[in-house]
Amino acid sequence: MSLLERITVDPDVCHGAPTVRGLRYPVEMLVGLLASGMSVDEVLADYADLERNDVLAALEYAALVTRTRSSVPISAA
């Protein structure tokens, strides 16, 4: 199974935002937690129903998105 297969998009879950395994954990939130300085182990401790590969899938998805979309100026973020 590819890590990206863990990322799902369902209009009925989190308003269609990409989430992990259909759970209500948006990729954006997980990447934000890691960007804020949390380790993967800390994220997993706080969200017991997540697996290490879920967090890695979120990072892989974020990497894919940044390769395929136009850049956004940081001041606009």
Q: Is 75 within the bounds of a domain?
A: no
Count of alpha carbons within 13 angstroms of residue 10, beta-carbon side: 14
For residue 34, what is the domain's CATH number?
1.10.10.10
Burial (CB count <10 Å: 0-12, 13-18, 19+), residue 3 = middle
What is the per-residue DSSP string for 23-43? SS-BHHHHHHHHHTT--HHHH
Tens digit of pLDDT for each residue in 3-43?
Answer: 999 999 999 898 888 999 989 999 999 999 999 999 999 99
- Total domains, the chain: 1
Q: Is 74 within the bounds of a domain?
A: no
Q: Is 23 within the bounds of a domain?
A: yes
Count of alpha carbons within 13 angstroms of residue 74, beta-carbon side: 0
Nearest alpha carbon to residue 6 among 60, 44, 68, 65: 60
Domain residues for 52? 3-69
Tens digit of pLDDT for each residue in 45-73?
Answer: 999 999 999 999 999 999 988 886 666 66
